[in-house]
Amino acid sequence: MKILVPVKRVVDYNVKIRVDKETNAVDLNNIKMSINPFDEIAVEEAIRIKEAGQCDEIVVVSLGPEQSKETIRNALAMGADRGIHVKTDHSPEPLLVAKILEKVCEKEDYDLIILGKQSIDDDCNQTGQMLSALLNRSLGTYASKVEIENDTIIVTREIDGGLQTIKLKKPAVLTTDLRLNEPRYASLPNIMKAKQKTIDELDPSDLGIDMTPKVSTKKVEEPPKRVGGGKVESIQELVDKLKNVSGVI
Amino acid sequence: MSVLVLAEHNNQSLKEATKKALTAALKIFSPAHVVVIGNNCASAANDAATLEGVEKVLLVEDTTYENMLCEPTADLLFELMKSYDYLVSAATTNGKNILPRVAAKLDVSQISEIISVIDNKTFQRPIYAGNAIATVESSTEKNVITVRTTAFETAQVGSSIATIEKIDAGNNPGLSEFIEEKVSSSERPELTSAGIIVSGGRGMQSGDNFKMLESVADKLGAAVGASRAAVDAGFVPNEYQVGQTGKVVAPELYIAVGISGAIQHLAGMKDSKVIVAINKDDEAPIFEVADYGLVADLFDAVPELDKELEKIQK
């Protein structure tokens, strides 16, 4: 079995971003970038499946600028086998990402594709679902447990009311939720080894996809600031304020 | 122009989330149609038919749709979308699961979690965990949109009742099968529609200690929520999680207990009307968004709060 894991380079989850009023965009200068946390969980899951003897090869693919190679190396250091870098200047919208991934899947066949459920920059939560549609494959989003059986995959999903378990026919597309696993740290020897692993390059223009965006961003603003910081000294004062000032209890 | 709203329901009644998505849909175009897809779900369709602004309800009942499995539901919506320009759903796990699959089949992008409708092609949506708001414009004829329900009012019951049209089920592509659902049953209100929420974080130290919050919640008619840290630590199940990737809530009153206030948690609750924070660390970022912060040990403060509320009740 072969697994494809798409990963995205995003602003690190600990960074509080700032909107640049002049460019009308999020200021990405000198900001720490990392692998999208949900994608890291996807890489970890693929590695665990391989360690269980249920997968022969893990391929990691990333779309983005030259630096996306670092993100791929990151995944290779965790234990993925090789990488594909699709070079783009900007970050295309999820539909276009899904179309590129569809082409990647046409070049080589993958039994399982595991993606993060959403990237923490644009918070779209679409790519995995869209890819499953384009490939006409079964879909298991928000996975918190994955069990591979011969031709099927049992997926437990985090849903609004609790947990749902479904059985998917292979080949399938999965997206990860937070509690699927805890990603490992790459060890120093593995980081060294990852430098020897192959990363192939792909040019989106060779894939025959119309990259014209269907949705354009007109502007980006800071949300209205919440004025907080009020303090109370005691529970009595708190209850009194809630009852008589705010009128919420 | 025409708008179709996908109903969220439990095969019995229509969920509050859909009534909010409907309000957003009506800002795009009024009146709207609602589609109820499920099994033996006529009563949910009846609910939808009473709402102001609903012209017609499409009802599709079949065992295939009992649990709203993604693949057959998306196929059916794709067929229905031949007659509509917009597909709108609340950004529930069902909506987020199904709609992008329909969008890709239609060869359009999805606009996720809109918080306002500027015109029928222009919308606002939060990005970076709500730390920025993007205004986006669609260039396609057909549009697929999910709605952040906290940003819209609940649609009200109207003066007339819409017609309900039964639609034949589509094919089941047979790619997936439902096995089971573990849904916690609680007498308390649902997190996403509760007027008051009491949430606990890592500071709670154990699942057992959440009983203190439940006691407070029950005196206020509140729902109980949690931060990611509390869910990861196994104190409470995943459906309690409030945050960027959990549930986004905006109640009248949000009481955060033992929650430090990571960006990802703030993203899920900072639009609440009144925020209370109880934390012993006076530097905790949660205090920056709190209207009423109390620096105290929660194990003293929460039982005291419980007693005070009991006094009020009497």
Q: What are phi and psi of B297, to 5 degrees?
A: -75, 125
Distance from CA of B160 to the nearest CA of A (A): 32
Contact present, B144 and B106 (Cβ < 8 Å): yes
Q: Which residues in A lie closer than 8 A to residue B102 (C-beta atoms)? A: 133
Sequential DSSP letters for B170-214: ------EEEEEEEE---SSPPGGG-SEEEEE-GGG-SSTTHHHHH
CB–CB of B228 and A117 under 8 A?
Answer: no
- Among B38, B41, B7, residue whose Cα is nearest residue B25: B7
Q: Is the dihedral of CA B247, B75, A209, A45 positive or negative?
A: positive
The shares of helix, strand and coil residues in chain A, as percent rounded to the nearest 5, are 30, 30, 40
CB–CB of B294 and A124 under 8 A?
Answer: no
* C-alpha span between B14 and B193 (Å, rounded): 13
Confidence category of residue B19, pLDDT binned at 50, 70, 90: very high
For tokens 């644009």, the residue is A122
Q: Which residue of A has its CA nearest to B276?
A: A238
Q: Which residues in A lie closer than 8 A to residue B99 (C-beta atoms)? A: 129
pLDDT of residue B209: 98
Q: What is the pLDDT along chain A (249 residues), one digit of tens a residue?
A: 999 999 999 999 999 899 998 888 899 999 999 999 999 999 999 999 999 999 999 999 999 999 999 999 999 999 999 999 999 988 899 999 999 999 999 999 999 999 999 999 999 999 999 999 999 999 999 999 999 998 999 999 999 989 999 999 999 999 999 999 999 999 999 999 999 999 999 999 899 999 999 999 999 999 998 889 999 999 999 999 999 999 999
Contact present, A162 and B238 (Cβ < 8 Å): yes
* Average pLDDT, integer, range B126-149: 97
Q: What are phi and psi of B305, to 5 degrees?
A: -60, -40
Q: Which of A136, A141, A166 sits opposite B178 (nearest CB)?
A: A166
* C-alpha span between B204 and B220 (Å, rounded): 20
Q: Which residues in A lie closer than 8 A to residue B94 (C-beta atoms)? A: 159-160
CB–CB of A178 and B69 under 8 A?
Answer: no
Q: Which of B110, B128, B196 sits opposite A26 (nearest CB)?
A: B128
Tell me whether residue A245 is exposed, middle or buried, using C-beta atoms within 10 angstroms of its C-beta: 0 to 12, 13 to 18, 19 or more. Answer: exposed
Contact present, B268 and B149 (Cβ < 8 Å): no
Q: Which residue of B has its CA nearest to A153?
A: B176
Using DSSP, how many helices (H) and how many strands (E) does chain A show?
6, 15
Contact present, A54 and A32 (Cβ < 8 Å): no
| Residue B107 predicted with pLDDT over 90 | yes
* C-alpha span between A135 and A101 (Å, rounded): 10
> What is the 3-class SS of B247-281, one letter each residue?
ECCCCCEEEEECCCCCHHHHHHHCCCCEEEEEECC
A165-178 pLDDT, tens digit each: 999 999 999 999 99
Beta bridge partners of residue A233, listed in sequence order: none
The shares of helix, strand and coil residues in chain B, as percent rounded to the nearest 5, are 35, 30, 35
Q: Which amino acid appears at position B116 of this protein?
A: S
Q: Which of B105, B176, B290 sits opposite A138 (nearest CB)?
A: B176
Contact present, B220 and B196 (Cβ < 8 Å): yes
Contacts 24+ apart (CB under 8 A), B41-47: B41/B9, B41/B11, B41/B12, B42/B164, B43/B12, B43/B13, B44/B7, B44/B9, B44/B10, B44/B11, B44/B12, B44/B13, B44/B14, B45/B7, B45/B164, B46/B164, B47/B9, B47/B13, B47/B14
> In the 8-state DSSP scheme, what is residue B14?
B
A31, A44, B234, B283 alpha-carbon torsion, rounded to 10°: -10
pLDDT of residue B245: 87
Could you tell me whether strands A215-221 and B132-138 are parallel, antiparallel, or unpaired per DSSP bridges? antiparallel
pLDDT of residue A225: 87
Question: What is the interface pTM, i.e. ipTM, of the complex?
Answer: 0.96
pLDDT of residue A46: 98
Contact present, B109 and B141 (Cβ < 8 Å): no
For tokens 């990392």, the residue is A34
Q: Which amino acid appears at position A29 of this protein?
A: N
| Sheet architecture: strand order including B196-200 | A231-232, B292-295, B274-279, B253-257, B196-200, B223-226
Sequential DSSP letters for A133-196: HHHT-EEEEEEEEEEE-SSEEEEEEEETTEEEEEEEESSEEEEE-GGG--PPPPPHHHHHHHTT
pLDDT of residue A91: 84
Percentage of the residues of chain B whose pLDDT score is greater than 70: 100
Average pLDDT, chain B: 97
Q: Is the dihedral of CA A168, A172, A174, A179 positive or negative?
A: positive
CB–CB of A222 and B293 under 8 A?
Answer: no
pLDDT of residue B313: 83
Q: Which residues in B lie closer than 8 A to residue A210 (C-beta atoms)? A: none
- Among A38, A127, A56, residue whose Cα is nearest residue B104: A127
| Residue B314 predicted with pLDDT over 90 | no
Contact present, B104 and A134 (Cβ < 8 Å): yes
pLDDT of residue A22: 87
pLDDT of residue A89: 85
Q: Which residues in B lie closer than 8 A to residue A105 (C-beta atoms)? A: none
Q: What is the pTM of this model?
A: 0.95
Contact present, A173 and A130 (Cβ < 8 Å): no
Tokens of A216: 């354009």
Q: First and final CA of chain A: distance in angstroms?
A: 57
> In the 8-state DSSP scheme, what is residue A52?
T
What lies within 8 Å, CB to CB, of B51 at 6+ separation is B19, B22, B34, B155, B156, B157, B158, B162
| Residue B302 predicted with pLDDT over 90 | yes
